[in-house]
Amino acid sequence: MSKTDIRRAAVIGFPVAQSLSPLMHKYWMQQCGIEGDYEAIEVAPVDLADFVNQAKHGGLAGFNITVPHKTAILPLLDKIAPLAKQMGAVNTVKISEDGTLSGFNTDGIGLVKHLKTSVVAYGFDRPALILGAGGAARAAAIGLLTENVPLVMITNRTREKAETIAQDIGRGRMTVLDWDNRADAVAAAGLIVNTTTLGMIGEPPLALDLSSAANDTVVYDIVYKPLETDLLKAAHTRGLTTVDGLGMLVHQGAAAFKIWFGEEVGFDAGLKEKLEGALSC
């Protein structure tokens, strides 16, 4: 197999046509002078094991994984990085030349790297509030705890799911709040992260009373369709720093690109323009 053959990657999901990953990775390939391709491949849950077996020797450097395969893929891999194990989810697989499959999770790193590079207003020194308790919430919590945030407060409509995350990874640095009392955590939070699907096109908005927020609170929404959710509009009106979901998407992708191709890439104006253009279609 020649070097050029292995400079291909993909994203698998079901559905996957909506994924922005091909646009992003192709942009970086071009920028780095890598001759390659990045495809979106629809893989139904019943076909996941077959896809993984074929991928071992299919000429891919690796692939990203999106809904609904992030957890189902775990038993099909040869090695799983500690962070991905802790998250119980994999979003990036590297395929070695001998067909060994290694799983990683770059979602939490994506959030932290984005905060560090672009959101100077939050220094990881004040409590954070996470809304939601799915895979993205777990990734965000792990990322923030790794940065030694003093306290991560978490709230979810289904409280037990938030409790499970706090028990699994909190080590005394996470507290759980009832969903109906979520506004009570706002005053203490230096960072508020929405990881729920609320606010996405077709979903109801996330209602959160921000009146008690400190003036330097950062409100981060991982939703990127639309880019400006009602939560971010409300935060903006309240004069708070707001961050949309594109940064986390880009930084988790950049970390995957580094794993496959060894190149450092990032979020520049050209990529921002391309992604915003795709989202406005």
Dist. CA 252–CA 247, nearest whole Å: 9
Number of H helices, E strands in the chain: 9, 12
- Quick check: 73 and 90 in contact, CB under 8 A? yes
Strand partners, 152: 128, 174
Closest chain position to ligand ATR (CB): 134
Short-list 245, 242, 237, 269, CA closest to 122: 242
- Look at strands 191-194 and 218-221 and give their pairing: parallel
Q: Which is nearer to ligand ATR, 116 or 161 (CB)?
A: 161
What's the closest the beta carbon of residue 163 comes to ligand ATR, in angstroms? 11
Q: Which is nearer to ligand ATR, 210 or 265 (CB)?
A: 210
Q: Which is nearer to ligand ATR, 129 or 137 (CB)?
A: 137
What's the closest the beta carbon of residue 158 comes to ligand ATR, in angstroms? 3
Q: Which is nearer to ligand ATR, 96 or 197 (CB)?
A: 197
Where does this chain bind ligand ATR (CB under 6 A)? 132-137, 156-158, 161, 195-198, 204
C-alpha separations of 23 from 1, 52, 69, 130 in Å: 26, 23, 21, 29
254 burial type by CB count under 10 A (0-12 exposed, 13-18 middle, 19+ buried) = buried
What's the closest the beta carbon of residue 100 comes to ligand ATR, in angstroms? 27
Identified catalytic residue from 70, 94, 116, 233: 70
Strand partners, 41: 12
94 is catalytic: no
Q: Which is nearer to ligand ATR, 21 or 195 (CB)?
A: 195
Structure tokens at 77: 């891999």
What's the closest the beta carbon of residue 215 comes to ligand ATR, in angstroms? 27
What's the closest the beta carbon of residue 179 comes to ligand ATR, in angstroms? 7
Residues noted as catalytic = 70
